[in-house]
Amino acid sequence: MPLTPVPDLIAAARPGGLGAFNVIALEHAEAIAAAAEAAKRPVVLQLSENTVRYHGSLAPLALACLRIAADSAAPIAVHLDHATSFELVTAAVELGIRSVMYDASALGYADNVAATAEVARWCRDRGVFVEAELGEVGGKDGAHAPGVRTDPDEAVEFVVATGVDALAVAVGSAHAMHARTAELDLELIARLAAKVPVPLVLHGSSGVPDAGLRAAVEHGMTKVNIATRLNVLMTEAVRAVVTGDADLSDPRKYLAPGRAAVRAEVERFLHLFADQPCHTHRHGPPR
């Protein structure tokens, strides 16, 4: 089906949360789309600036994701994640990506507002959904460092000043966590959801246990980003195959189990965010 605008995905996901999953390789995108079809849930394919840097270019993987989304029976959006340059935002939009996260959180508050507002104005003129971040998200000694949280009043001020469509907030999670031990401040999520006039986004969700993610959605979190958890499971699946066969040389033989592991976990998360049981836990290669 045609690409679905993020606001429509948010509406389709309610009363549950919208799952957004990061793509590093083609197998991620294939797995995520297949999981969305199986779960009959909307989903976001995300491409980060770090992934663009790894590949050396945005276009090849972005165009593949756009085509996978267009060919899928599930409602899917493609999103640029953690872009720190206006140039990368414009490149994404020119390719057909209609949702971007512009991350000026490493700047001081005033500079963050000014830079984000400029990007938001440019994107609004082109019908592009804009997510931003107030303070650096965890794993960077920023807003998700221990004890640091988003202030609801400042968040409202930031959204009004910038005109963004969604806001990533600091409520206790951190990027790149392997252990799922993060404890979210649910009372703060509820206060933010009551005050902030745009959807809230949870980054660093891989480190949050299932119960915490469900509670976050129930308290008002709208979009839930997952990256590290998928990479951990893909790597475990690949490692199990390659260490068991010293003569293995065909990448399809180990990437297929990695893709299947990602698909199974994405489907599980999609049911979790929707508070639905997931009856299938392991799948063969999705495509």
Q: Which residues are catalytic?
A: 81
| Pairwise CA distance, residues 165 & 135, whole Å | 17
In sequence order, which residues have a C-beta less than 8 Å from that of residue 3 and are 6 or more positions away? 66, 69, 70, 76, 77, 78, 96, 98
Q: Tell me the three state secondary structure of residue 19.
A: strand
Chain centre distance of CA 21: 4
| Pairwise CA distance, residues 22 & 20, whole Å | 7
In sequence order, which residues have a C-beta less than 8 Å from that of residue 140 and are 6 or more positions away? 106, 175
Q: For residue 180, count other CB atoms closer than 10 A to its CB.
A: 14
The single-letter DSSP state of residue 62 is H
Beta bridge partners of 99: 79, 129
Q: What is the gyration radius of the CA atoms in the chain, in angstroms?
A: 18
Which DSSP helix (H) or strand (E) runs through 224?
A: strand 223-226
Beta bridge partners of 43: 19, 76
